[in-house]
Amino acid sequence: MATELEDTREPIVDDQEGPKASPFTPSELLRLDEALTMSSRETGLRFTLYIGDLPTDTRAGAEDLHARSGDDPSQSVLIAVAPDQRVLEIVTGSAASRRLPDRACALAVLTMTGRFGSGDLVGGIVNGLRQLSDQAGHPAAHRPRH
């Protein structure tokens, strides 16, 4: 398994078979993969993207997902997209929220929902991620100066 996974340029989710395997084309998956990985690498935060139904209380559902987002939730940013409910939730952990204030998240939400409204899910997500990572900046810039 490791031999074929050494170069991880492939889409994150690619091991599912069947007609409903992925809602995105391989090129779209590649764009999402790159956007997630690059924004996480540039900022030192951990961006994850959830696409699917949320419970009726979408905010609580998204926050619940955030709590399970593995590793260190305080550093992670969850982008939850519910296409059926037409709701987008961005949840930041405590450390991430210092670099990504709610106002910055709201701006990204505005960008993303604008594109979602015209049916461009991937474009909206990629642009939103770019905006969020621009806002969060590089972790070196946030270290205390000596």
Partner 1 sequence: MTVVETLLVFLVAPLAVVLLAYALVMLPAMKARKRYKPGEPWGHEAIWYEPHRPGGGGHGDDHPALGKQAAALAIGETAGHPKRTAAGGARGTW
Site for partner 1 in 83-112 (CB under 8 A): 83-84, 86-94, 96-97, 100-102, 105-106, 108-110, 112
Among the listed residues 69, 126, 131, 136, the single contact to partner 1 using CB under 8 A? 69
Residue 146, Cα to own-chain centre: how many angstroms?
Answer: 33
Pick 61 or 146: Cβ nearer partner 1: 61
What are the beta bridge partners of residue 5? Answer: none
Contact 4, 98 (CB under 8 A): no
Q: Which of residues 24-43 bind partner 1 (CB under 8 A)?
A: 25, 32-33, 36-37, 39-41
Q: How far apart are CA 137 and CA 132, in angstroms?
A: 9
Best CA proximity match to 95, nearest among 45, 30, 22, 59:
45
Does residue 133 interact with partner 1 by CB under 8 A? no
# residues near partner 1 by CB under 8 A: 72
Q: How far apart are CA 12 and CA 140, in angstroms?
A: 28
- With H, G, I as helix, E, B as strand and everything else as coil, classify residue 77: strand
Does residue 20 interact with partner 1 by CB under 8 A? yes
Pick 46 or 145: Cβ nearer partner 1: 46
Pick 80 or 145: Cβ nearer partner 1: 80
Pick 68 or 145: Cβ nearer partner 1: 68
Does residue 61 interact with partner 1 by CB under 8 A? yes
Q: How far apart are CA 127 and CA 104, in angstroms?
A: 13
